[in-house]
Amino acid sequence: MPLFVRVGVQLKEKTVAQAKQGDTVKVHYTGTLNDGTIFDSSQSRDPLQFTIGEKSVIPGFEQAVVGLSLGESVKTEIPADQAYGARDERMITEVPRDRIPQDLQIAVDDRLQVRRPDGGMAVVTVTAISDAGVTLDGNHPLAGMDLTFDIELVEIV
């Protein structure tokens, strides 16, 4: 007589959740430039939470998360056109010095919030200061750059 007998137990295949369109996810990431410089990382703070498909993160980052399983990591290279786009020289302008509030202390590389002609707000970077004017760049600081991200899916909310 056998020592072990099968008694109608059916094993089910365990499914592993993968991130997909419409999912709200939490990820840890580290972003680097081509020279290895880290420009941003979530490692010392809470993971980044976003919903796939809402376009709240750059397209290449979102695409890299789709299909990841919980705990899975990926290293992805994102070309500029899937990140912050190409630099647009039309977004650089010189503002006469007298249009800058006198009490506003500014320096090169400062980020300022300015009102656009349509009434909306924009963030610009001070790139040059002279007696005649201040040069402002409306491009994102990472525009025109290819980026590399190490991404880990830590939760599907």
* Residue 127: CATH number of its domain: 2.40.10.330
Considering the domain boundaries, does residue 19 fall inside one?
A: no
Domain extent, residue 103, equals: 89-137
pLDDT tens digits for 118-133? 999 999 999 999 999 9
pLDDT at 129: 95
Q: What is the number of domains present in the chain?
A: 2
Looking at the fold, whether 68 and 105 belong to one and the same domain comes out as no
Q: Which residue has the higher pLDDT, 102 or 94?
A: 94
- Domain membership of residue 106 (yes or no) is yes
| 14 within domain boundaries | no
State how beta strands 133-137 and 121-129 pair. Answer: antiparallel
Q: Is residue 129 part of a domain?
A: yes
Domain contains 149: yes
Q: Are residues 28 and 80 in the same domain?
A: yes
Better-scored residue on pLDDT, 74 or 99:
74
pLDDT tens for 7-63 read: 555 555 566 789 999 999 999 999 999 999 999 999 999 999 999 999 999 999 999
The CA–CA distances, whole Å, from 77 to 13, 33, 63 equal 34, 10, 11
57 and 132 inside one domain:
no
CA distance 120 to 122: 7
Distances (CA, A) of 54 to 25, 139, 145, 146: 12, 22, 23, 22
d(CA 65, CA 68): 6
Considering the domain architecture, whether residues 57 and 101 belong to the same structural domain is answered as: no
At residue 59, the pLDDT reads 95
